[in-house]
A and B are shown apart, each in its own frame.
Chain A
Amino acid sequence: MSHHSSHSFKANERTVRDGITTVMSQLRARGLADQHAGDVELALVEVVNNVVEHGYAGLGGGLIHIDAQLSATGLDLCVSDFGRPLPGGHVPPMQAVDLDCPRAALPEGGFGWSLIHQLTDVLRYERRGTRNTLLMRFFLTGPRRKRQRSAPPAP
């Protein structure tokens, strides 16, 4: 089993929902199991939301491209856009949101990257010219071998 597909859609809240639904239904039709599909969809939604809300914010929109490569052992999703680069030129580190505060001060955002880190097995960002590409890899067999990619090296 090996399957490649490409998708492009405009970066706004309504069109991305339809775009991601299309990507997910194709992946399911090509054999992506339900046990993985939920995680994949959530990670993809969070990444694409970031592009819409930050990457293209104030730029009048743009296009989002998704390349999917599905095999028996893994799924690679490459999300590309031509918006702003990620701050500092890299993926924000894994950071749990601080919930140890009075109810009125609880955060209403900032959960996205934490979810993306926890749901993916490999996360790699590249800025080339004006193009941002984020690779997400999901292992589909065996135990998850999640590494803390953004943590500093152990002393």
Chain B
Amino acid sequence: MFLTSTQRGGARIVSVKAERIDAAVAIQFKEDMRVETEGGPDRVILNLSDVSFIDSSGLGAIVAAMKQLGAGRRLDLAGLRPMVDKVFRLTRMDTVFTLFPSLEDAMAELEG
């Protein structure tokens, strides 16, 4: 599988170990996110620092992963590389998610 997760502070950190989140893996991604985040802390941080490319199918899968967390839980995104960041800005999804430059920045907000 291409997701790994750890717990740090009060957050579940899910890291994507793949270069692309695209149409070929979008459904699998959503399902794996469900498994990785089930029953964990309310805050989930998705670490995208290994991902260099995402398409609209991948974006939709991240939105789906956020929705399936349910009320009271949140999904933050960290480590967006330039083309990934661009997809979020062009679709205005940067207004829906909180984007952090790195996992450390996301953790700093948690601890600070």
Contact = CB atoms under 8 A, between A and B. Distances in A.
Contacts of B86: 38-39, 42
Contact of A38 (B22, B66, B82): B82
B6 interface: no
B96 A106 contact: yes
Contacts, number: 68
A45 B67 contact: no
Contacts of B22: 17, 45
A115 B87 contact: yes
Interface residues of A, number: 27
Interface string A76-120: 000000000000000000001101000110111101101100110
A109 B92 contact: no
Interface string A30-51: 0000000011011001100100
Q: How large is the interface on B (under 10, 10 to 19, 20 to 34, 35 or more residues)?
A: 20 to 34
Contacts of B61: 108
A111 B94 CA distance: 14
A97 B95 CA distance: 12
Contacts of A49: 23, 55-57
A115 B56 CA distance: 8
B34 to A, nearest CB: 14
Interface of B: 20, 22-24, 53, 55-57, 59-61, 63-64, 66-67, 71, 82-83, 86-87, 90-93, 95-96
27 contacts: A13-B23, A13-B24, A17-B20, A17-B24, A38-B86, A41-B53, A41-B83, A42-B53, A42-B83, A42-B86, A45-B55, A49-B55, A52-B23, A96-B92, A97-B92, A99-B92, A99-B95, A103-B66, A106-B63, A106-B66, A108-B61, A109-B57, A109-B60, A111-B59, A112-B56, A114-B91, A115-B90
Given A17-B22, A46-B56, A99-B92, 7 more contacts: A38-B82, A42-B83, A49-B57, A104-B71, A111-B91, A115-B56, A115-B87
